Amino acid sequence: MQFIETNENDITYIYTEFNIENVTYLVIFSKDDETLSYFNDDVDIAEHLINQQTYSIKFLVKDYLDDDNNNDLYSSPLEHKFGKKQISELKNKLEQAVYQHYLLFKPDCYVFVGERASLVRMYKKLCAKPSNFMLDFKSITDLGSNQDCFIVKTPSYKEIQYD
C-alpha cells in the first residue's frame, strides 16, 4: 500500500487508495490541529485525545472528490450494490490502510466520524470484529452527540494517569 503526502493550506494530508469492483476509494489521514480541536467540545472524546499524537481519518469514493457537482462527498458509489463479499473486502482494505499507516507514522490514536448511517455501520463492524493483525488496537465507539464518532487506540497509545 502506497501513501502519498500532500499539503494544502498548511495542512498535511496522507492518503492511500484502493479499488473494489471498479470503484476507487481514498483513505485520508490528517494531523490538523484545527480539525482535531473540534473534538475538544465533547469531554468523552477529548479525554482520549489529550496529549496523544492523533490523526483524523476520512474515507470516501475518489470520484466524488473530483466531482464539483456532487454535494455528498461520502455517498455510496453510484450503481454499485455491494454484497457480503465486497463489504468484507472493503472492511479488510480499510483495516490494512490504518495498520500500514500506523506502521509508518506510529500515531497514538485515530479519530473518525461516520458522516452517513452506512459509514457508521461500517465503522462499527470494523471496531467490533477486527482482523487478527488489528487485535492490539482498541476501539471506542458511539461517541459524540450523534454516537457517530470513533476512536482507535494504537499499540503506541499511552494511558494518562490523573492524580
Cβ atoms of 144 and 89 closer than 8 Å: no
CB atoms within 10 A of CB 151: 23
Cβ atoms of 109 and 149 closer than 8 Å: no
* pLDDT at residue 13 tops 80: yes
> Does some domain include residue 96?
yes
Separation of alpha carbons 75 and 72, rounded Å:
6
- The beta strands (E) that lie in the chain are given as 4-8, 11-20, 23-30, 54-61, 109-113, 138-143, 149-153
CATH number for position 148: 3.40.630
Tally the domains of the chain.
1
Only one residue has cell 494517569, namely 161
* pLDDT at residue 9 tops 80: yes
Mean pLDDT of 26-32: 92
> Does some domain include residue 159?
no
* pLDDT at residue 78 tops 90: no
Residue ranges making up the domain that contains 148:
4-153
Mean pLDDT of 132-152: 95
> Does some domain include residue 47?
yes
Give the per-residue pLDDT at 72: 55
